[in-house]
Structure 1
Amino acid sequence: MQKMILKTNSLIKEYTSGEQRLRVLDEVSIEVPEGATAAIVGPSGSGKTTLLGLCAGLDQATGGDVLLVGQELGSLSEDQRAALRAESVGFIFQNFQLMPALTALENVMVPEELRGVSGKETIARAEKLLERVGLAKRVNHYPNQLSGGEQQRVAIARAFMHKPKILFADEPTGNLDEEASALVEDMLFELNQESSIALVVVTHDLDLAAKADYVFRLKNGQLVEQKFHGEVSS
Structure 2
Amino acid sequence: MNKPILEVNNLTKTFTSGSKELTVLKNITLSIDPGVTCAIIGPSGSGKTTLLGLCAGLDQPTSGSVSLNGREISSMDESKLSEVRNRQIGFVFQSFQLISTLTALENVMVPVELRGTPYREVEAKASELLNEVGLGDRLTHYPSQLSGGEQQRVGLARAFIHQPDILFADEPTGNLDGETGAQIEQLMFDLNNKLGTTLVIVTHDRTLAEKCDRIIELKNGNILSDTFANETVTAAAEPTIAE
TM-score (norm 2): 0.92
What is the match of residue 74 of structure 1? 74
Query: 1:15 aligned to 2:15?
Result: yes
AA at the equivalent of 1:191: L
What is the match of residue 211 of structure 2? 211
CA offset digits 1:91-118 (Å, max 9, x no partner): 1100001111111111100101122223
CA contact (8 A) 1:57 1:81 kept: yes
5+ residue gaps in structure 2? 234-243
What is the match of residue 102 of structure 1? 102
CA contact (8 A) 2:67 2:73 kept: yes
CA contact (8 A) 1:39 1:201 kept: yes
CA offset digits 1:124-148 (Å, max 9, x no partner): 1101100111111111111111110
What is the match of residue 49 of structure 2? 49
What is the match of residue 35 of structure 2? 35
Cα displacement (A) at 1:230:
7.6
CA offset digits 1:127-185 (Å, max 9, x no partner): 11001111111111111111100100000000001111111111000000001100010
| Secondary structure in 1 matching 2:193 | helix
| Secondary structure in 2 matching 1:136 | coil
The residue correspondences of 1:110-125 to structure 2 (distance < 5 A) are: 110-125=110-125
For residues 121 and 178 of structure 1, the distance between their equivalents in structure 2, rounded to whole angstroms, comes to 36
For residues 230 and 163 of structure 1, the distance between their equivalents in structure 2, rounded to whole angstroms, comes to 29
Cα displacement (A) at 1:231:
8.1
5+ residue gaps in structure 1? none
> How many residue pairs were aligned?
233
Of residues 223-232 and 52-61 in structure 1, the stretch that sits farther from structure 2 once superposed is: 223-232
What is the match of residue 174 of structure 1? 174
Identity, in percent, stands at 55
CA contact (8 A) 1:12 1:23 kept: yes
Of residues 70-79 and 203-212 in structure 1, the stretch that sits farther from structure 2 once superposed is: 70-79
AA at the equivalent of 1:162: H
AA at the equivalent of 1:116: G
AA at the equivalent of 2:72: E
Of residues 218-227 and 76-85 in structure 1, the stretch that sits farther from structure 2 once superposed is: 76-85
For residues 43 and 156 of structure 1, the distance between their equivalents in structure 2, rounded to whole angstroms, comes to 25
Cα displacement (A) at 1:18:
2.0
For residues 232 and 147 of structure 1, the distance between their equivalents in structure 2, rounded to whole angstroms, comes to 41
CA contact (8 A) 2:60 2:74 kept: yes
Cα displacement (A) at 1:74:
3.0
| Secondary structure in 1 matching 2:199 | strand
Query: 1:145 aligned to 2:145?
Result: yes
Query: 1:2 aligned to 2:2?
Result: yes
For residues 220 and 25 of structure 2, the distance between their equivalents in structure 1, rounded to whole angstroms, comes to 8
